[in-house]
């Protein structure tokens, strides 16, 4: 049991991490949407502080070099190699601490940042920045057309986060991923729905977003343990932490002993030098070697440290999480929800006749299940299965993207 539990804790620690990094990402997205550049300053800019806030500002000495680059590119008279040469002739290497290469030219010319627009390719997002532009949009377009041809457009996404269950939930009749959209009501308002409107679906259907989502949250709550099981789980996890902590302490004592021995050896070496048994050169060599051994041991010591409070925080998170999976999900932000859903049901879920089912739950949830079965009273999650072969037989060709 101890081993399984440790595995489970790792899964949850990972999940917690994923959720946390998703949270960091949403903080960055918020900054981005507010016009603040959340990454390293692009070439020609540097980070500064203005009114107590982090900003990105133009490096004045580089401004004329960047401007000339765009202007000369727009003339169609120069190759990228020639533009590189010109930049370096103007002292770019000295000012930026790195000579320009053809790659530098690409990096600068392609960035809309220089006329005030921030791009985040990974997020497929664009936003106007609050930073100072160096050139105009017109100059940017002309220079890009001259060097690369017509510029590509970055698609701006939006609404998808309003429907965390879309793509993830399959229609129980035709097994196509559900879509999400807003429908106009009779009174003119706009209402969110999930729906299957796949061509050929024998039972196309729409569900109010709130209905489908609360039903999903109830489904998640089926995986919850009873209070007795929770207490048992917590005790097992704590015991496990305690056991590994005491193992680590034994190891720590050993390493500290070795460090102490090295200290004594150092004193011996210095004493030998003082009484003239060894030369100064020999002393230095021996001391260097001892110091190297010592620093290796110190690294071992810090790697061996097990942070009990952190381990306990993971346990608390685990228990809280297991006790309230559904509610937990309900109160997350949409992007966090998708992370959690995927972590629990790697293959998504199927919705039919008002209930969910799945073919695969993640190992951590299988562990909960086996834990629950091993220790009565039983909580048996319903709705697992039917078999994959059944799904494959009914799946009408490859899944569409549900967009």
State the residues that interact with Zn ion by CB under 5 A: 171, 173-174, 196, 201
First to last CA, the chain: 44
Give the chain's count of helices (H) and strands (E).
14, 10
Residue 87 burial (CB < 10 Å; 0-12/13-18/19+)?
buried
CB of 350 to Zn ion, least distance (A): 11
Give the integer Cα–Cα distance in Å for 146 and 78: 10
Give the integer Cα–Cα distance in Å for 148 and 279: 68
Please, which residue, 171 or 367, has the CB nearer to Zn ion?
A: 171
CB of 191 to Zn ion, least distance (A): 20
> CB–CB of 359/347 below 8 Å?
yes
CB of 337 to Zn ion, least distance (A): 22
Residue with tokens 């952190």: 310
Residue 393: which residues within 8 A CB-CB, separation 6 or more? none
Structure tokens at 33: 């949407």
Residue 10: which residues within 8 A CB-CB, separation 6 or more? none
Please, which residue, 43 or 350, has the CB nearer to Zn ion?
A: 350
CB of 205 to Zn ion, least distance (A): 7
Please, which residue, 38 or 402, has the CB nearer to Zn ion?
A: 402
Count of residues in the chain: 403
Give the integer Cα–Cα distance in Å for 156 and 45: 25
CB of 163 to Zn ion, least distance (A): 16
> CB–CB of 110/102 below 8 Å?
no
Radius of gyration of the chain (CA): 31
Residue with tokens 């690369």: 148
Eight-state DSSP code of residue 124: T
Please, which residue, 158 or 200, has the CB nearer to Zn ion?
A: 200
Please, which residue, 49 or 403, has the CB nearer to Zn ion?
A: 403
What are the Cα distances from residue 39, in Å, to 55, 60, 105? 11, 20, 20
Please, which residue, 92 or 216, has the CB nearer to Zn ion?
A: 216
CB of 165 to Zn ion, least distance (A): 14
Structure tokens at 168: 């993830």
> CB–CB of 115/34 below 8 Å?
no
């Amino acid at each position: 049991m101890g081993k399984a539990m440790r595995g489970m804790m790792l899964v949850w620690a990972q999940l917690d991490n994923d959720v946390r990094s998703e949270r960091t990402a949403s903080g960055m997205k918020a900054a981005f949407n507010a016009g603040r550049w959340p990454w390293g300053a692009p070439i020609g800019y540097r980070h500064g502080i203005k009114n107590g806030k982090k900003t990105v500002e133009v490096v004045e000495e580089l401004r004329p070099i960047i401007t000339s680059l765009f202007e000369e590119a727009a003339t169609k008279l120069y190759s990228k190699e020639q533009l590189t040469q010109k930049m370096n002739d103007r002292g770019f290497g000295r000012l930026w601490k790195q000579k320009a290469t053809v790659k530098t030219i690409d990096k600068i010319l392609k960035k809309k940042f220089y006329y005030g627009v921030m791009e985040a390719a990974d997020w497929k997002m664009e936003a106007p920045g609050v930073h100072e532009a160096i050139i105009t949009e017109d100059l940017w377009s002309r220079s890009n057309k001259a060097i690369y041809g017509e510029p590509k457009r970055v698609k701006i996404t939006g609404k998808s986060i309003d429907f965390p269950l879309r793509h993830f939930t399959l229609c129980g009749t035709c097994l196509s991923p559900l879509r999400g959209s807003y429908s106009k009501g009779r009174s003119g308002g706009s209402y969110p729905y999930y729906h299957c409107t796949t061509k050929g679906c024998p039972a196309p259907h729409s569900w109010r977003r709130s209905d489908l989502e609360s039903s999903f949250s109830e489904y998640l709550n089926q995986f919850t343990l009873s209070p007795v099981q929770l207490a048992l789980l917590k005790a097992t996890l704590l015991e496990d932490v305690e056991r590994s902590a005491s193992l680590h302490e034994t190891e720590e004592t050993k390493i500290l002993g070795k460090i102490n021995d090295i200290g004594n050896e150092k004193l011996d070496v210095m004493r030998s030098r003082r009484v003239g048994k060894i030369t100064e050169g020999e002393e230095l060599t021996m001391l260097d070697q001892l110091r190297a051994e010592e620093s290796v041991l110190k690294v071992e010591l810090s790697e061996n440290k097990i942070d009990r409070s952190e381990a306990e925080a993971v346990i608390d998170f685990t228990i809280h999480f297991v006790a309230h999976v559904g509610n937990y999900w309900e109160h997350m932000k949409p992007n966090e929800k998708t992370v959690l859903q995927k972590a629990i049901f790697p293959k998504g879920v199927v919705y039919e006749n008002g209930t969910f089912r799945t073919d695969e739950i993640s190992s951590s949830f299988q562990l909960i299940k086996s834990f629950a079965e091993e220790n009565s009273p039983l909580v048996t999650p319903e709705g697992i299965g039917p078999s994959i072969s059944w799904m494959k037989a009914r799946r009408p060709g490859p899944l569409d993207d549900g967009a």
